[in-house]
Amino acid sequence: MTKVPSPVRVFLQVAMLLAWAMPHLSSLTVWQWLFDTRNGVVNTVLVALGFEGFRNHAWLMDPVSFFVIAGAVVTWGSVPLVMFMVYASLTQLDDAVIEAAQIDGAGPLRRFFSVTMPMIAPVLFLVGMLQIIWDLRVFTQISVLQNAGGVTRETNVLGTYIYQIGLGQGDYGQGSAVAMLMLILTLLVTAGYVRQLLKNANQA
């Protein structure tokens, strides 16, 4: 985005903003349509290309392909915010430092890994911590895909597992125990995030 012309950059920003602002249930409707067993776009395209084995293929019934699709859904919803934060940090880089490295003979890869990456490392760390915190709380995407045909027992994450054993099966003790484990994991990750925020504030 720092290299493309301004109209292309604006188009990418608007597209990413719309993808990020779209409600999960609305976007999941599209994903379900893409991977529908009978009328899905993916199956139709694969069969048209000669892969007859994918005719009426149930993607959500296989735990591996289920998590591949779920991972794509979660990633698709997370990329815009990551992109905006990293792009904002790249626009704040001191061009003089990069030009000095170029004058010293550093190639594009060397400038990227030795100059650009260290300068935006704090932002990358914060973005990574936020993504881990949010991914621990993933529920809607997995639950909707399970209801669309996934094998529930083999495709649970912490959020859906807590819901199923706590509210679904009425085992509130085990549900509370898993919820406490999830809380501890979230607090551990959040502690690293807060430390980095305080470190950046002190440096400023």
**Which pLDDT score is estimated for 8?**
92
**Which pLDDT score is estimated for 200?**
67
Residue 192 falls within a domain, yes or no?
yes
How many domains are there within the chain? 1
What angle do the packed helices 6-21 and 63-91 form, to 10 degrees?
130
pLDDT, mean of each 10-residue run, the chain (204 residues): 88 88 84 86 91 87 89 88 90 85 84 88 85 84 83 82 82 86 84 74 65
Under 8 Å CB-to-CB from 53, ≥6 apart: which residues? none
DSSP secondary structure letters along 167-197: IIS--HHHHHHHHHHHHHHHHHHHHHHHHHH
Residue 196 falls within a domain, yes or no?
yes
How far the first Cα of the chain sits from its last, in Å, is 27
The answer to whether 13 touches 85, Cβ cutoff 8 Å, is no
**Which pLDDT score is estimated for 204?**
58
Extract the tokens encoding 126. 């914060």
Q: Tell me the Cα Rg of the chain.
A: 22
Residue 18 falls within a domain, yes or no?
no
Residue 3 falls within a domain, yes or no?
no
Residue 112 falls within a domain, yes or no?
yes
Residue 163 falls within a domain, yes or no?
yes
- CA gap 63, 5 in Å, rounded: 42
Residue 71 falls within a domain, yes or no?
no
Helix ranges (DSSP H) in the chain: 6-21, 24-34, 41-48, 63-91, 95-103, 108-111, 117-136, 140-147, 158-163, 172-203
CATH number of the domain residue 143 falls in: 1.10.3720.10
Cα 145 from chain centre: 16
Backbone angles phi, psi at 57, to 5 degrees: -70, 130
Range of the domain at 126: 77-203
Q: What is the pTM of this model?
A: 0.77
> In Å, how far are 76, 89, 125, 201 from 121, measured between CA atoms?
23, 10, 6, 15
Residue 27 falls within a domain, yes or no?
no
Percent of the chain with pLDDT over 90: 7
**Which pLDDT score is estimated for 11?**
92
H/E stretch holding 61? none
